[in-house]
Amino acid sequence: MPLIAAAVERKFGSLFGRGGGDQPQAGRCPGEDACETFKAGGRDLRICRVCPMEATKPKGKVQATDRDERIVGTIERMAAELEMGYPPALDEITPLEYELLLEYRNKLAECERQLRVALVMRPQG
């Protein structure tokens, strides 16, 4: 499931302008390899503990496979059909597909909420 989660994260990153999850968002930890503060501190992990972005630090690099990307595509199609009023018949999908559909819709709702908050909090100028 973590590999599929990485594929979903990449999908939502590209949908919501986060560079497909490959580029850090503002206010989020970019990871040790991309963090200038971490590099300047001699790669000392104690620097991370006092960093305000520590809670968003990536826990490790997980790569999604082509199979994971196909599964996400299938779930994305199922979600689109559901949105159009054509829900999948529960006897025609696997329990895993059902759970992934729920996760996908939850992640979509979360990203939409974050986008709305970002738009509201954006400085006017």
- Cα separation, 28 vs 54, in Å, equals 8
For the ranges 17-21, 43-47, 74-78, 99-103, which has the lowest average pLDDT?
Answer: 17-21
Angle between helix 95-121 and 66-83 (nearest 10) = 80
Q: pTM of the predicted model, to two decimals?
A: 0.52
- Cα separation, 49 vs 6, in Å, equals 25
Q: What is the DSSP secondary structure assignment for residue 90, as one 8-state letter?
A: T
Q: Average pLDDT, stretch 52-56?
A: 78
65: left (phi over 0), alpha (psi -120 to 50) or beta: beta
- Cα separation, 43 vs 99, in Å, equals 39
For the chain, the structural domain boundaries read 2-121
Extract the tokens encoding 91. 């006897």
